[in-house]
Structure 1
Amino acid sequence: MRKSSLAFVGVLLGATALAHPASADVKIGLLGGVSGPIAAMAPAMIDAAQLAIQQVNEQGGLLAGENLVGVVGDSGCNPQNATDAATKAVNIEGISAMVGPHCSGAVLAAANSVTIPAGITMITPSGTSPEISKLADKDTVFRTVPSDDYQGRALARTLLERGTGKVAVAYLNNDYGKGLAEAFKAEFEEKGGEIAGFAAHEDGKASYRSNLAELADGGADTLVLFDYGDGTGLTILRQALENGFFETFIGGDGMKSDAPIRELGAENLGTFYASSPVGEQSAGLEAFNAAFKAIGGDPNAIFVTTSYDATFLAALALEKAGGDKAKVHEALREVSNGEGEAILPGEWKKAKELIAAGTAIDYKGAAGDHNFDANGDVPGTYALWRVEGDTFAVETEMK
């Protein structure tokens, strides 16, 4: 996955787009998993967020021409790291909104400890745990990606429709892995499938062969693996292949990483599939794809559409709120509620003029319309992906 200078200069400096004096800056936090189990995914996600910021600044900036700045922080997909990074972003950098964190446990920790008490609106592009919906967040936590309750159930239905009626399930023992596994299990069994093994595992062990052997004893030839492809999930997949424990492997969105392809070889992954969100074909998606390709990005990289949308939405809400941090969460619902003149990705100048005129707008994003429900959640579309060359291609849509 391309690691552009745009994203990583931001990491080193703590902020990007420093063309204007600091007094003219409006800052938003970009809190990502730059290190840790999704490190291979994070650069493209940050690049997509920076594209939105670039477009805002090229088309007049925020409010009276202020420069929008993305302050990049590293959560490491770790609750404590996320809390520390969020504290710095809020209390030292003075951000007005936050995009991220990328991982569910980090979202829960940073929200509870930092952004909710501070009244800062958080929009995560990839925190998918059902627990996020339950936060007592005073309507300040949103996401542009569907809950894993939806993904897990859709994946269960898809496997059954494809004739896979018996599976073993291995999941990372954290908020992400547990939430996804439980949703999958509930739907799979309810629809008549058999779970031949269901077990949590801890992160960072050198060997998972005994775990895999126990799961394989149930007689399933398919392993459903809810983990991260840059971390423990890669180790488990490697050891399962080396020892012939299973024939087919199904991952959640955390496994849709280029790390397994790079480390294990596409030729060894002919029976490896992963689910992840996919943008519905729309004018919004086409606009994003063209703009992201123009800066060298891969529109098929995981969570790039949701990362872009989260950032563009944060900017729209700040503009609508007149820069008032306390009003961003209310403004966010106003700029993406299904009512008003359509705004597509990249149409900042148009949106800015309409907001100034008091005209209602409705953002039609790369990943969807984002009409937030009472919990700040959105519906979405998922697909099952297969390995094709050095990347992923859609195998089938999930319903």
Structure 2
Amino acid sequence: MRPRRRSQARLLAALTWGGSLLVPALTGCRRDEQAAASSTVAIGVGAIPGAPNYAQVVHGVELAVARLNETAGGPRFRVRLPDSSASSAVQVAQQLRNDPAVIAVVGHPESGSTLEAIPIYADAEHDGANGVVAVSPTSSSPRLSGISPWFFRVAPSDADAAGFTARWVLDSLRARRAAIVYRNDSYGRDWAETFAAGFVRGGGQVLSRNPYLTGIVEWDAYAALLAAEQPDVLLFPGDGADALALRRALRVRGVRVPFVGGDGAEGMKADPEAAGAYYVAFFDERHASSAEAAAFIPAYRGRHGRAPDMFAALSYDAAMVIGRTVAAGARTRAALRLALSRIGNGAPSVDGVAGRIAFEEDHDIKGRTVVVTRIPGVAPLDDEMTVPGAAAPPATRGRR
């Protein structure tokens, strides 16, 4: 997920919410004390403006802030957006960390951006003196487990999600010969490696693992290779748009193979050409039954005219666990970090859209649900080797 250049003019981010104009406070010293003394605290959006899924992250945080202000008690909350000039994860992190009003950050949605930004949020240069908590909604790289005391996440690690998917492919699709086409970044490589290891352990054979770079790829060449290999299943940890492009190339060559996208491929589900494909998700509104889901899903539909996706739902959850913990008394950045680390380790869990929120000792989410979903409908040349029904049953997983 790549940054897009914006005007270099520095703009103060402003957000109209509930009829009032919300403007971030200026950078200053004694940040924890100033944030604690303020009657309004800000939750920052740690995502690159204009990048894929940025809007969904913002929408999720906005609705969480509205919900917190209705129900949480304590300080009022507001959204702090990064300046529109920010074109990298590091720039976003610097802006949010240096804003004394920001009590914590929701982000980043991508593992690569998160890995770049964590040293900034942790203020590693000054041994954490001005650190700020970052709670990622969807970063899933195993390399993030325990990476920093200032980092938490509400999505399962790829070590869980990809490993579960390997077993699901073996047991439900009864596939034994897999091909993998993966986006050549930390997300795609981690997914491919973990899936392959679990698939082989379960008795399967990985025929090939082929990386790709978005925008620099000849999909027909990949389709030709898959036509020659004739796998039982194709795993695709990549973007939704790239998944659709590969499926078109496969159809041109008449290749019939069950297609299983990783969680990054969720965006393909809105396109009719994706009918019949599977994808892995950390949230599916059809399986969401919590009290927060009952509030969030209709609110999101009413505001945006469509169902929320994984990025919006888990951004809401990340903001909610921040806000509930602040409302319970953690009014400084340092106090919030310690309080979050105790959730699930002596302190009660927090209700979220995708389930209860509690953290492992390494700050990974405990026991989150992974759903393998089949996109409804029938597309040309879809293989008939599918699980009956529109969706695979959800599986609740802890850490392996």
The 5 A counterparts of 1:1-399 are 13-17=13-17, 18-19=20-21, 24-32=39-47, 35-36=50-51, 39=52, 41-59=53-71, 62-63=74-75, 67-73=76-82, 81-92=88-99, 94-117=101-124, 118-135=130-147, 137=148, 139-162=149-172, 163-230=174-241, 232-257=242-267, 259=268, 261-262=270-271, 266=272, 268-278=273-283, 281-296=289-304, 298-299=306-307, 301-334=309-342, 336-337=343-344, 362-378=349-365, 379-388=367-376, 394-398=391-395
Cα gap change, 1:284 to 1:27, in 2 (>3 Å) = closer
- Distance of 1:94 and 1:290 partners within structure 2: 30
Given that residues 44 and 106 in structure 2 are in contact (C-alpha distance below 8 angstroms), is that contact kept between their aligned partners in structure 1?
yes
Given that residues 124 and 310 in structure 1 are in contact (C-alpha distance below 8 angstroms), is that contact kept between their aligned partners in structure 2?
yes
Q: Deviations over 1:332-372 (max 9, x none)?
A: 234x32766xxxxxxxxxxxxxxxxxxxx541222222220
- Secondary structure at 1:396's aligned position in 2? coil
Given that residues 122 and 132 in structure 2 are in contact (C-alpha distance below 8 angstroms), is that contact kept between their aligned partners in structure 1?
yes
Structure 2 unmatched runs, 5+? 1-10, 26-37, 125-129, 379-388
* RMSD between aligned residues: 3.2
- Distance of 2:74 and 2:21 partners within structure 1: 14
- Distance of 1:236 and 1:167 partners within structure 2: 16
Shift of 1:74: 8.3
Shift of 1:103: 0.5
Structure 1 unmatched runs, 5+? 1-10, 341-360
Cα gap change, 1:260 to 1:281, in 2 (>3 Å) = closer
Shift of 1:280: 5.5
Cα gap change, 1:44 to 1:319, in 2 (>3 Å) = same
Q: Which piece of structure 1 moves more, 120-129 or 245-254?
A: 245-254
- Secondary structure at 1:281's aligned position in 2? coil
Shift of 1:181: 1.1
Shift of 1:234: 3.6
- The answer for the alignment partner of 1:350 in structure 2 is none
Q: Deviations over 1:47-73 (max 9, x none)?
A: 12211101223447643xxx4221223
Shift of 1:133: 0.6
Give the letter for the 1:365 counterpart.
G
What is the TM-score when the length of structure 2 is the normalising length? Answer: 0.77
- Distance of 1:241 and 1:12 partners within structure 2: 48
Cα gap change, 1:111 to 1:69, in 2 (>3 Å) = same
Given that residues 175 and 232 in structure 2 are in contact (C-alpha distance below 8 angstroms), is that contact kept between their aligned partners in structure 1?
no
- Distance of 2:269 and 2:290 partners within structure 1: 30
- Distance of 1:154 and 1:304 partners within structure 2: 23
Give the letter for the 1:281 counterpart.
S
Given that residues 349 and 357 in structure 2 are in contact (C-alpha distance below 8 angstroms), is that contact kept between their aligned partners in structure 1?
no
Cα gap change, 1:381 to 1:59, in 2 (>3 Å) = closer
- Distance of 2:266 and 2:84 partners within structure 1: 20
- Secondary structure at 1:205's aligned position in 2? coil
- Distance of 1:241 and 1:296 partners within structure 2: 33
Given that residues 277 and 303 in structure 1 are in contact (C-alpha distance below 8 angstroms), is that contact kept between their aligned partners in structure 2?
no
Shift of 1:85: 1.2
Give the letter for the 2:360 counterpart.
D
Given that residues 122 and 131 in structure 2 are in contact (C-alpha distance below 8 angstroms), is that contact kept between their aligned partners in structure 1?
yes
Cα gap change, 1:192 to 1:320, in 2 (>3 Å) = same
Shift of 1:147: 0.5
What is the TM-score when the length of structure 1 is the normalising length? Answer: 0.78
Shift of 1:398: 4.2
Given that residues 317 and 329 in structure 1 are in contact (C-alpha distance below 8 angstroms), is that contact kept between their aligned partners in structure 2?
no
Given that residues 104 and 129 in structure 1 are in contact (C-alpha distance below 8 angstroms), is that contact kept between their aligned partners in structure 2?
yes
After TM superposition, the runs of 4+ consecutive aligned structure 1 residues lying more than 4 A away are 18-24, 59-62, 296-300
- Distance of 1:319 and 1:166 partners within structure 2: 51
Cα gap change, 1:60 to 1:249, in 2 (>3 Å) = closer
Shift of 1:394: 2.8
